[in-house]
Amino acid sequence: MKITIISGSHRNPSQSMKVARFLRESWRAAYEDDDVGIFGLADNPLPLWDQRVWEGSAEWRALLDPLREDFRASDAFVIVSPEWHGQVPAGLKNLFLLFGAQEFGHKPALIVTVSAGEGGAYPVAELRMSSYKNNRICYLPEHLIIRRVESVLNENPGENNQESDSYYRARISWALGILREYARALGQVRASGATQSSTYQNGM
């Protein structure tokens, strides 16, 4: 099974990338035969969408084709998003303009949001409301909100709030297990052919 974790923070370094790395290591520890990778938006590797994407310009294809291949081969995604001014970062929304149903369609995704304080609910709501219509990504009903992120999931135990850290580690492990089962189940849905249509290419 192939899992892609997308870290949606443009900052470098970022707490979202710290969380993404923790998720990757947790997945590897639990399911050692799986292929799990991170694609990070640190330093903005993807320019803003423009018309040449739809025209298939050579420049865009050189940038996007390797990622398309990687995402198309993925069975499931984890979308890690910080809360920035109550929103999902613009670069993550841009990613959802650049890739579509062939990469994400009818594949499960776990939303993981990150806040330095008590935030994190707005990006969950935003992703659920407006990032799935045409690409048909399937967000799990379970999601994770990592609050006070600087005090959890650090490699150095001395930097962690022990109670919160233990809670998040256990809950992450549970959520990843759910994601893996959805990945197995939705693989069958895609293989059935029921989701394919040349008529209904976009969601309503």
The structure tokens 């052919």 sit at: 193
Give the residue with the Cβ less far from ligand FMN, 64 or 145: 145
Candidates 6-14, 47-55, 61-69, 191-199 — which segment interacts with ligand FMN by CB under 6 A? 6-14
4 binds ligand FMN (CB under 6 A): no
Give the residue with the Cβ less far from ligand FMN, 114 or 186: 114
Name 142's bridge partners: none
The residue whose Cβ lies closest to ligand FMN is: 119
- Cα dihedral 124, 1, 6, 25 sign: positive
114 binds ligand FMN (CB under 6 A): yes
Q: How far is CA 203 from CA 57, 121, 136, in A?
A: 26, 25, 7
Q: What is the DSSP letter of 86?
A: T
Give the residue with the Cβ less far from ligand FMN, 117 or 203: 117
83 binds ligand FMN (CB under 6 A): yes
Among 4, 115, 131, 160, binds ligand FMN (CB under 6 A): 115
Candidates 57-65, 101-109, 110-118, 169-177 — which segment interacts with ligand FMN by CB under 6 A? 110-118
CA distance 16 to 8: 7
In the chain, DSSP assigns E strands to 2-7, 35-40, 76-82, 108-114, 138-139, 144-146
Give the residue with the Cβ less far from ligand FMN, 43 or 55: 43
Please answer whether residues 54 and 22 qualify as being in contact, where contact means their C-beta atoms are separated by less than 8 angstroms.
Answer: no
86 binds ligand FMN (CB under 6 A): yes
Nearest to 99 by CA among 126, 77, 123, 124: 77
DSSP helix/strand/coil, 43: coil
Among 4, 9, 74, 160, binds ligand FMN (CB under 6 A): 9
Q: What is the DSSP letter of 47?
A: P
Task: Give the residues lining the site for ligand FMN (CB under 6 A).
Answer: 9, 11, 14-16, 82-86, 114-117, 119, 149
